[in-house]
């Protein structure tokens, strides 16, 4: 049980920190605007994604099951979509697989959270 909790808090902390950091970059850095244009997304989508990442980072820590699971689902879709978008425009393999790496960390967080809930 202790190792499951450590895994949960570590992976959820990584996802949260990453989402907050990337959200601020998405909202504030001009380079991200150029990157989103490269992927074919309009500028308003960049702002929407940045705000959504901040909300999802908060939802991961709330004890409300519906909000927590909504965040997991939203992040899973976002990571998979990011990988697909980079693949479709012919970006390097590293950019394509980054989304899948984040998705793997998210899955470990979700599975460890589920195990903790089963024990309770």
Q: What is the pLDDT of residues 39-90, one digit of tens each?
A: 999 999 999 999 999 999 999 999 999 999 999 999 999 999 999 999 999 9
Average pLDDT over residues 1-24: 95
Per DSSP, 70 falls in state H
What is the model's pTM? 0.91
Quote the pLDDT of residue 100: 96
Q: What percent of the chain has pLDDT over 70?
A: 100
Give the confidence band of 17 by pLDDT, cuts at 50, 70, 90. very high
CA–CA distance from 37 to each of 18, 31, 43, 44, 100 (Å)?
22, 10, 7, 11, 22
Quote the pLDDT of residue 119: 85
How far apart are the C-alpha atoms of 15 and 11, rounded to whole Å? 6
- Taking only the tens place, the pLDDT of each residue in 88-111 is 999 999 999 999 999 999 999 999
């Amino acid at each position: 049980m202790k190792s499951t909790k450590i895994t949960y808090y570590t992976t959820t902390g990584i996802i949260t920190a990453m989402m907050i950091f990337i959200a601020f970059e998405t909202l504030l850095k001009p380079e991200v605007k150029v990157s989103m244009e490269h992927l074919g997304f309009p500028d308003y989508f960049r702002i929407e994604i940045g705000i959504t990442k901040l909300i999802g980072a908060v939802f991961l820590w709330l004890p409300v099951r519906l909000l927590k699971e909504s965040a997991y689902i939203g992040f899973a879709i976002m990571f998979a979509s990011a990988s697909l978008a980079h693949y479709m425009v012919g970006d390097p393999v590293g950019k394509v697989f980054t989304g899948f790496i984040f998705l793997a960390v998210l899955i470990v967080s979700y599975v460890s959270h589920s195990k903790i809930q089963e024990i309770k």
